[in-house]
Structure 1
């Protein structure tokens, strides 16, 4: 039986753990927290108290316990740790530090795009004069994640505060200032599976942000798959993107890119050389049998990443199906009442339901505008966009999330006219 060491015992590792166990692997979870504080440790075959940054101790454990591979969830912190542990232990990892550094930094990613004729969002130097900067702009850390430290500025007087906020969430202490594309809060996601240097477009979706008008919560509220830009992307941009990543030597793994549409074009602004926290694999697996988490785990333990069946069935059009990812954002406060979930499950055949909070949990103010603001995620198939809108409206009508005073905790109800 192959043995997989997962770094990090939080909920971010749970899906990786479940998939690894479904493949028949023995799973060990490591971090320095006690078992009772870590859900993934409680689910593992074995849990060890070693910090994910203690590379030498992890290396010794790997050797003494015949560990075949090291992996983690979408945590960028633990991806960096896993990369270093694999290097020291002589185990396979899907990317190099150089590739990771280029792709995880918004500035270097966009520079790579410009060098390879891949359209990207215009950016400004914070030192530029107000004549050069065209407002509104969006300010964010170059190496941030989970939508933390992001601010939209309508005028020059807001720049300094936004810049300092972004700095808090940048490990490299660098900030990017970009043109804010005013398209009513619509984005496009693009996903690839890479196998032995061959790039396969696996999924594209249209993303709708939570609060496009107030601009305080720019997290993704709804995603509709496949994207209406899929055919255009394949004809106009796909080849340049593949050439771009081949230039830096990416051979195996998964990646996603995020873009903004404007006037019929799409412009990229960031990417992730990793699995996605939104778990889109449950949609692709239900539609056409493609599970990129399985692929990444197999690669980590030294097995063949993709089977011929899987390669033959990768399809960004989801085998003719439409799918929806719908996340419920909540405001800060203490959750006092949750109702309607079971009723929704009876009304709508769900692909997947993931809930992050329970009664009594407290949502702090600083979660607003980040992915930590989401109470749950629904995933389901739809006949078309009109059917998707009807199902979202039904969910919003039935679900109830209130504080202990009976006040509605849903931050913002999604306006389904945006997708119809």
Structure 2
């Protein structure tokens, strides 16, 4: 592959709307005749009846397998065995990012097609061509890249609106970083997760995701608090899932997700949602860039109103905890991290200084805007870390 090749990757089909789950069978039968449905018991209790009815209406058999909670290598291999035993020709993940990661990996190994029906809009994982694999105790182990994206991503907006609003908020945090990172990658002309240089398309979609969220996120969050699907909710679901997914893979990742990965190396942050930690990465990236004060101020004010953390206190850290900040910074700057897609060199010392600075900076912005001051976060015990980002911390595709 030439060094100046640019490329875009995307799912085969994206479907979104209220009641979309009732059409799952119609879309699935276009890519397979013997689907394997994978969902945990909680999700199945919520949507299983609709899925069963949809497959029956399309003349498809129902083979459902329970997802056991962590996308470990053992769980992936178990699902491969189920695929072979049932003769499935398409695997469909119904649930959150962990279920989706396990099914993508299993489908790839088994040599069949795969699809996703996310029940939350908390990350841009559903559209991506990679999985994050954990140990059986929930610690990050590896990234697995695949030669193609899912054949189908189907999102029922009402199911998303029925989920806790905190999950939609987390998705906004993940998606807002997409533009900040894509514009940095474009400036440095670094490789993206799609395996080439950033495309105009990928960069533009990342920016569109940003624009949609700034215009509609607050209204959408209010609507989802009442489990309502409004035009603003539809736009935010699309921005969190599709636009951000296309934008990060074909536009590029940079410092925000690398700093998120560093945060996962600190036990105090375990239990936080992916998008919450990404938002701390976004604030830190803006500081590293020396972004205009007005841009940093606007970002802190907006994301605070959204309900995202903007201080170390809110992710279980302290500005004077040099050991934890150093652990974060060193993990964020290992040679293969996406922080090196920034248009300038970034060292662990740079990250420590930027992280340390955001506590006083964000507190001051919030005080002047008459926004609430941060409440300390305490990590729950015996809980696996949140899903790592699609591609964050991974080497670029060959």
Q: Would you call these one fold, judging by a TM-score over 0.5?
A: no
Name the structure where strand makes up a greater proportion of residues: 1
- Relative contact order (C-alpha < 8 Å, sep 6+): which is higher? 2
TM-score between both structures, scaled by the size of structure 2: 0.31
* Higher-Rg member (1/2): 1
